[in-house]
Structure 1
Amino acid sequence: MPQIGRHLRELRRRRQLSSRELALRAGISHSTVSLIERDRMSPSVDTLGAVVDALGTTLVEFFSGLRSSYNYSPVYRPDDFVEIGNPDEISYRVIGFNQPARKMQVLMETYQPLADTGDIFSHDAQEAGLVLEGRIELTVGQQSWTLGPGDGYYFDSNLPHRFRNLDEGVARIISAITPPSY
């Protein structure tokens, strides 16, 4: 995260500490503090924890402050979507992947002809979606439904579920998962 160094330097300066004083309090070398503050080194969790503790805060508070100073655009063009699936079978393109403190995951899902998510699975979240194109078989628990363009769904992802494209053509869904867990 390129913002860690800048945020750390701001906290240190607010507390009117030199980098040497911070290093001494944290039990690390002055050069380590310097490298972290210049984003030349990614600290381990232990090292960052020691530095943050020496500044009189916690990792949770540190990252909360980091999120509030993070610059991002609220607009995403198709080239900005991050692919987390396999486009040859099922493409999951994430909208807003770099949003700080994301509380939901928004996906553009593309299922190739007859593609299937495989074995029924579950995860700790809730899901909702809208079929834009094609026919999808949605299985939740012991029940299955066929959904077409304009049909939607909303379910507790703790229930075992599965998606399958029933057609020889491409199927597309816009979905949201909260918290982001897929």
Structure 2
Amino acid sequence: MPRIGSKLRELRRRRDLSVRALAARSGISHSTISLIERDRMSPSVDTLGAMLDALGTTLTGFFSDLQSSLPYSPFYASANLVEIGKVDTISYRVIGLDHPNRQLLMLHERYALGADSGEEFTHTAQEAGMVLSGMVEVTVGNQKRILNPGDGYYFDSRLPHRFRNVHNGHSEIVSAITPPTY
């Protein structure tokens, strides 16, 4: 987690506000603001939100700007992909989980024989993917299709959806979800 104090201090100074003036605008005590700016205290989401509102910015804008300057490597070895699934049935390996500006969830999915994502589910995003090997039955809303290697999908994830391996072995998909809400 990046230190946010210096960024908050920079925003306050850019607006030519004293700590006491920001305290009066935000309803946060001047001593708390001072501790936060010196990274001696981590603010709650509510406290940070109140400070940012008083400074005329948003949580999203503050963190996207803050993270854009963090160093990272654009390359990820297979051994370094983080597993977030159920390895014995469905493996979801994330590409770029530690990327500081990640606005996309990129997955290498591997479905065991008979694996099923379970009941249809929804989340606020868009999803796209391509079957690399095997055969996967994809259900989106009231539509269902068996996809073979090279076949793909793209849908609004607010629609109920489900994935099921219908191949007599493992199936693999590479997929992307934005924003990364799964």
Classify the TM-score, shorter chain. 0.7 to 0.9
Aligned residues: 180
Mapped contact 1:3–1:66 kept (Cα < 8 A): no
For the structure 1 residues 120 and 94, does the alpha-carbon distance in structure 2 shift closer, same or farther, using more than 3 Å as the test?
Answer: same
CA drift at 1:85:
1.8
Shift of 1:116: 0.2
* Match of residue 129 from structure 1: 129
2:88 aligns to what?
A: 88
Q: How big is the shift at 1:50?
A: 3.7
Residue 4 of structure 2 aligns to which amino acid in structure 1? I
Which residue in the other structure is 2:29 paired with? 28
Q: What's the counterpart of residue 110 of structure 2? A: 110
Distance in 2, Cα, partners of 1:49 & 1:163: 38
Length-normalised TM-score, structure 2: 0.77
State the Cα distance separating 1:111 from its structure 2 match: 1.1
SS in 2 for 1:122: coil
Tell me how far apart the structure 2 counterparts of residues 118 and 22 of structure 1 sit (CA, whole Å): 50
How far apart are residue 5 of structure 1 and its match?
Answer: 2.7
1:78 aligns with 2:69: no
Structure 2: runs of 5+ lacking an equivalent: none
Q: Separation in 2 of the partners of 1:102 and 1:112?
A: 28
In structure 2, how many angstroms separate the alpha carbons of the residues matched to 1:24 and 1:120?
49
Taking structure 1 as reference, are residues 81 and 16 closer, same or farther at Cα in structure 2, changes over 3 Å only?
farther
C-alpha distance in 1 between matches for 2:164 and 2:112: 10
Percent of pairs with identical residues: 61
Could you tell me how far apart the structure 2 residues matched to 1:64 and 1:127 are?
22
Q: Could you tell me how far 1:114 is from its partner in structure 2? A: 0.9
The residue identity in structure 2 corresponding to 1:158 is: R
Q: Report the TM-score when normalising by structure 1.
A: 0.77
Tell me the amino acid that sits aligned with residue 179 of structure 1.
Answer: P
Q: 1:41 to 1:158 in 2, by over 3 A?
A: same
Q: Which residue of 1 aligns with 2:179?
A: 179
- RMSD over equivalenced CA pairs, Å: 2.9
The match for 2:149 is 149
The verdict on how the C-alpha distance between 1:45 and 1:156 changes in structure 2, with shifts beyond 3 A counting, is closer
Once the two structures are superposed, residues 78-128 of structure 1 have per-residue CA deviations (whole angstroms, 9 ceiling, x without a partner) of: 344333222122122222223345432211111122110111223332221
**Quick one: distance in 2 between partners of 1:167 and 1:84?**
23
Q: Is the 8 A contact 1:128 1:177 kept in 2?
A: yes
CA-to-partner distance for each residue in 1:41-98, whole Å, 9 max, x for gaps?
Answer: 32112222343355x3323443343133333222222344333222122122222223
Alignment of 1:3-82 (within 5 A): 3-12=3-12, 14=14, 27-28=28-29, 30=31, 32-33=32-33, 35-53=35-53, 56-60=55-59, 61-82=61-82
Higher mean displacement: 70-79 or 127-136? 70-79
Instruction: Work out whether residues 76 and 96 of structure 1, in 8 Å CA contact, stay in contact via their aligned partners in 2.
Output: yes
